[in-house]
Chains A and B, each alone.
Chain A
Amino acid sequence: MSEPTEPPWTAEQVQGLAPDASSFTAARKLAGASGWSTTGHGGSPAGLWGLCKGSGSNPYQICIDLTEPAYRCSCPSRKFPCKHALALLLRWSAGQVAADEPPSWMTEWTTSRGARAVKKAEQATAPRTEAQERAAQRRADKRAESVAAGIAELRTWLSDQVRHGIAGLDQAGYRPFEQVAARLVDAQAPGLAAAVRRLAPVPSSGPGWEQRLLAELSLLHLLAGAAANPDALPEDLAATVSSRVGHAVTTEQVLAGPPVRDRWQVVGTRDDTEDKLTSRRVWLRGRDTGRPALVLSFAMPGQALPVDLVLGTELDADLTYYPGAAPLRALVAARHGTPRACPVPGPAQTVAQALDEVSTALAGDPWLFQWPVLLRGVLAPGSPWHLVDPDGDALPLDPALGEPWRLAAVAGGHEITLAAEWGPAGLRPLAVYDGTEVARA
């Protein structure tokens, strides 16, 4: 038996781990089926295991390490985690898995995982040779030249738009934007290219598009101006500009930064697919520091996104932030223990506090278009909808996202904690916490 057991994750949280909707549907069915045996949870690190009858003669062995979490299943599925692992988690979530001593096949797996982790850590620390350094410098210089040329072209293009007028752009389609974006990709400024691509749908976004387009063009102009002259900027702002332009920062560089230890709460997650590339945003908030963080990951088609940060849990860990004037993106540098369920994340903000935080962040990084907030208040339907805090202050929800009736049903007009992304058009809800459960948006 392990020490006092954590409450299991909710079905919502398990759903967050599913690689796709059909896996989760299949898992839900499997969880209700007969054919389970030797299920249990416990051990150290905390784990979950079980046997599930499959189509073969031997039942599948499922091992789950709840700390990362990590999975192994003896089934041939390429989905990860597979439906058996998800189903086992669902059974656990429904209270159908009892605490127990792990069987030998479970302990063997956890031991071998531990050994692999040590080996990997040893390999990662070999330093680069002098020749490698010189080659890297040459590449960097060449790239800076190319980026500078791209930025100059972008600035000319931006000026031209305003010189000739933006009124006709709603007739032009995506083409003008695509051309500029393609040039910026060639110039090795993928961040700027993505920013230009984000402009493309604005002219067809309905009434008021001219206002939105001018705002975005002007911010891009600001960014291009700053990127053309990075040496004039303070170090933090230069890092922000550099990341917005699209310079990659290596994982090692980020991990070398100062760690921030906290009980990091996973308050919201959101997946997006753009050009076949799937991205997962995991929004964290430190329970003690109150700091927000974003763990961003990407997957090509067929690749699985990392699923180690589970909505509605909190993790004692060291985070290191990417450099910048309004640090937000971060990496998990070190974990200290098992994630725990966290039914009520905090500290929640008032609307005034959230607006203050957004202002401060914008002062550092004026190009921010999303910032996580954790608000306490009442969801008020309307056009637009609002989240109204106990002081009566409210922030609008982004009307383009549709009406969040499911969240309203969960909230029932009572005060809830809402995790959301702030954006210029309004809040994008991520999850609602009603005190006992978390419902993803």
Chain B
Amino acid sequence: MSTTIWSDLMSSALVGTDRRRLVLPGTDGPLAGVLASLGAELDPDGLLAAAGAVTVARRAGQAAARPQCPEPAAAETEPYAPVAAQQRLAALLSGGDAEIDRTTARELAAEWLRLAAGRGLLAGPAILVALLDLGSSDSSIRATVRAVGGTRLGWLALQGPGRWAWAVQQEETAQPSDWDTGRPADRLRYLGELRARDAAAGRDLLLAAWPQEKASDLAALIAACGAGLGPDDEPWLEKALDDRRGQVREAAARLLGALPGSAYRQRMADRALACVHVADRRLVATAPTECDDAMRRDGISVKPPQSVGERTHWLRQIIEYAPLDCWTAYDQTPAGLLSRKFDDTWGPVLRAGLVRAAITQRHGAWAAVLIHDGLGRRDMNELRELAAVMPEQDLAELIAAQLRRKVDAVVRLLDVLPQPWAAPVADAVLECLADTERRRSGWWQLLRHAEWGFDPAYAPRARALHDSLPIPDQQLLARFTTMLQIRHDIHQELT
């Protein structure tokens, strides 16, 4: 009723009553009296009066809608973080302030999230939208956000815009359907989980699918069988070495190399020992002159990368993949072997191969010796890779000792050191910072790393050091001290 009157009024008002005269039809209903009083043909005032009556009637007569409601979110099973901690997170997520910039605030928020996740505490519902937006722009933080978001996060993401889809709660374990129809990553995850549960079932699954798989997929799937690896796997892996596809052979060879007592390990050890011999306490290496079928079968690639000679390439692979323990044939300890003189021709290749071997085989004892051997000389990325496989204790001691001598030699190893840094390192860093005479290259980097590396429990000691220095030096340490204090507070608030 009022709808047709309204559209009559509207069309006349749009072009003007001068151009479209308006005669309202007689009406009944609640507005009949008002409209009738305006006369049959409406002038501009009449039109406005009629429109006013209809507008008020519509607003006053608004009817309720009846839409669908969402399913309510399930109750949380874990507790919320304390109020002070929630406030802290909200402040960090709302951006920086005079003391900390935006990026640092984000990193502190990330630490909050990791810590809360580790302690099984949840972030409150009011902060979840900020966390979803954070995770949408930074995928590295998603796992932690999911952990502290509780069931409410997944519920919210399910209702919300598509960019939050990553937060929708996934199945706890991969499903068989992932294997049949999933993306490559889902299939790897399913196989890996199955191998960890039931290695034989995983093997059978892979062998059944074998003929249909592409080389690159197959190589990745073989690598996923590292989970639950055992002696039963040797026969099928040996068979895989007969595959004509290089990627498949290499993947199988890597697994066999990790399998204690495998025939492959023995073959590689024999090859390595054949290439290296001892003469007058010196180590003399000789690269193979050809890459024979047996070598190829064991996953050694024939074609070198650009600017590397064929023989160098072969020798380096042999050393890298031969089990490091085979060198006890020449010397009881890694240190003993490395203390010998290496010959000039193939010695450098042998040394580089050993470094790769320590990294690939994650051999802590070898890494510890090789890193000492190469400090200050070798490629820093390689040193960091070596540091990453060292036992934490050894690495901490090494770094602590070096810090007292030459900061920039080890400062870049600090981000490999597990956080929070072990006490010897933190103590050595405090010593360095206190020594105002010796601010050399690397000192600033050390300070930046220390903001995150220090255990927040060091906050009082850092503050005491700061206060004990002359004013100009205090300013240098101000940020470090503040950061440590904030991190300290975050840790305290989350208990």
B-contacting residues of A (Cβ < 8 Å)?
Answer: 11, 22, 25-26, 28-29, 31-33, 90, 93-96, 155, 158-167, 210-211, 214-215, 217-219, 221-222, 225, 351-352, 355, 358-359, 362-363, 366, 378, 380-382, 386, 388, 392-396, 405-406, 408-410, 412-414, 424, 434, 437, 439
Contacts and interface: CB of A to CB of B under 8 A. Distances in A.
Contacts of B44: 158-163
Contacts of B67: 380, 382, 386, 388, 394
Contacts of A210: 10, 13-14
Contacts of A358: 59-60, 62
A260 to B, nearest CB: 25
Contact of B66 (A163, A394, A406, A437): A394
A359 B13 contact: no
Given A93-B83, A378-B69, A408 B156 contact: yes
Given A159-B45, A159-B48, A359-B61, 14 more contacts: A11-B87, A28-B88, A31-B87, A94-B84, A162-B44, A210-B14, A211-B6, A214-B10, A217-B51, A219-B55, A222-B52, A378-B69, A396-B65, A412-B73
B64 A352 contact: yes
Interface in B61-92: 61-73, 82-84, 87-88, 90-91
Given A355-B62, A409-B128, A215 B16 contact: no
A439 B50 CA distance: 42
10 contacts: A25-B94, A94-B87, A161-B44, A165-B18, A165-B19, A214-B9, A358-B59, A380-B67, A386-B65, A412-B72
A366 B13 CA distance: 21
B159 interface: yes
A221 B97 contact: no
A222 B45 CA distance: 10
Contacts of A165: 13-16, 18-19
Nearest to A162: B44
A388 B84 CA distance: 33
A220 B212 CA distance: 76
A22 B97 contact: yes
A218 B49 CA distance: 6
B87 to A, nearest CB: 5
Given A162-B16, A392-B66, A412-B72, A29 B152 contact: no
In the complex, the 6 A-B pairs of residues with the closest C-beta atoms, listed nearest first: A165-B16, A218-B51, A393-B64, A413-B72, A218-B52, A221-B48
Contact of A214 (B13, B56, B73, B94): B13
B62 to A, nearest CB: 6
B371 interface: no
A413 B54 CA distance: 36
A215 B64 contact: no
The number of chain B residues touching the other chain, given as a range, is 35 or more
Contacts of B18: 163-165
Contacts of B43: 159
A394 B48 contact: no
B274 interface: no
The secondary-structure label for the interface of chain B is: helix
A280 B129 CA distance: 26
Interface in B419-436: none
B17 interface: yes
Nearest to A96: B84
A395 B125 contact: no
Contact of A406 (B14, B62, B129): B129
Interface of B: 6, 9-10, 12-19, 43-45, 47-52, 54-56, 59-73, 82-84, 87-88, 90-91, 94, 97-99, 125-126, 128-129, 152, 155-156, 159-160, 489, 493
Contacts of A381: 70, 159-160
B492 to A, nearest CB: 9
Nearest to B149: A409
A394 to B, nearest CB: 4
A363 B160 CA distance: 39
A11 B68 contact: no
Nearest to A217: B48
Nearest to B14: A167
Chain A CB count within 10 A is highest, among B99, B125, B128, for: B125
Nearest to A351: B64
A413 B69 contact: yes
B64 A394 contact: yes
A437 B87 CA distance: 14
A359 B58 CA distance: 10
Chain A CB count within 10 A is highest, among B59, B62, B64, B69, for: B64
B189 to A, nearest CB: 29
A438 B119 CA distance: 27
A380 B68 CA distance: 7
A351 B66 CA distance: 11
Contacts of A388: 66-67, 69
Contacts of A22: 97
A213 B37 CA distance: 24
Given A210-B14, A352-B64, A28 B87 contact: yes
Contacts of B91: 25, 28-29
Nearest to B76: A412
B121 to A, nearest CB: 16
Nearest to A434: B125
Given A163-B17, A215-B51, A32 B493 contact: yes
Given A28-B87, A158-B48, A405 B69 contact: no
A55 B52 CA distance: 62
B166 to A, nearest CB: 16
A151 B288 CA distance: 105
A229 B173 CA distance: 76
Contacts of A413: 69-73, 155, 159
A392 B69 CA distance: 9
A227 to B, nearest CB: 14
B72 A414 contact: yes
A164 B16 contact: yes
Contacts of B82: 94
B212 to A, nearest CB: 44
A380 to B, nearest CB: 5
B87 A90 contact: yes
A37 B15 CA distance: 72
A288 B155 CA distance: 37
A162 B13 contact: yes
B152 A439 contact: no
A22 B98 CA distance: 10
B10 A355 contact: no
Contacts of A409: 125-126, 128-129, 152, 156
Contacts of A217: 48, 51
B154 to A, nearest CB: 11
A217 B47 CA distance: 11
A396 B66 CA distance: 10
A26 B100 CA distance: 12
B70 A380 contact: yes
